[in-house]
Structure 1
Amino acid sequence: GDGWLAVVPCDAPALPRDLVGRLRAANGPAVAFAAARVQPLFCLLPTDCAPSLAAYLKRGGRKVEAWLDEVGVARVAFDDPAEFANLNTPQDLVATS
C-alpha cells in the first residue's frame, strides 16, 4: 500500500513540529535519533509493516526498537533531545513550564 503511520507517544508534548516532514524525507521507514540514541516511539512507518509487527508480537517480541531494527528504519538526526522528553508525573509537567 501507500499509507503511512506516524507514531508519537502521548506523554511528549514538546515533539518537534517538523517531525513527520523530516521523517518522511527519509523516503522509507524512519525513526528519530537524538542525544546519541534512537527515540523508538517517534517514527514514521508504511502501513504495510503491520504483518511484520504482528509476526514480531506473535514471537513474543516486545521491544519497539528491536522490531524497528527488523524493519530496517532510517535514523533521522534531531539536535534537541528535550523535544523527545516524556512527562510521566504532574511534577514533570511543572518542571517544564
Structure 2
Amino acid sequence: MGEETRAQFDRVAESFVERGAKRSQMFGMPVLKIRDKVFAGTYGDAMTFKLAADDVAAALKLKGVEPFEPMPGRAMKGWVMVPLEHSKRWPGLAEQAWTFLK
C-alpha cells in the first residue's frame, strides 16, 4: 500500500473510529469493523467496501471499480474495490457500507 492510499484510508478511518468503528486487519491489510463485521478496508492501492446490492451496482459504474476478488475468480459477494483515483468518493462509500452493516 502506498503512502497516499494509507493517508486517505486514515482520514476515512478517523471519522468512523470516533463513531465506534474498530481498526483491525484482513488479508494483512487495514480494515474497519462495526460489531465485528468488516465494512471497509484497503487492498493494494484501493479501498474495499461491503455494500447493499443497489450501491454495488452504482459503484461498479465508476471507471476502474471492480468486484473485490482477494483470490482471482472468487469475488466476495457485495464487496467492491475502488482505486485510489476515486479516493474523493471513499468517505461516501464508507458511509454507505457503515449504514448497510450497522
The higher relative CO (CA closer than 8 Å, separation ≥ 6) is in 1
Could you say which structure has the larger radius of gyration? 1
Instruction: Report the TM-score, using the length of structure 1 for normalisation.
Output: 0.28
Q: Name the structure with the higher strand share.
A: 2
Structure-2-length-normalised TM-score: 0.27
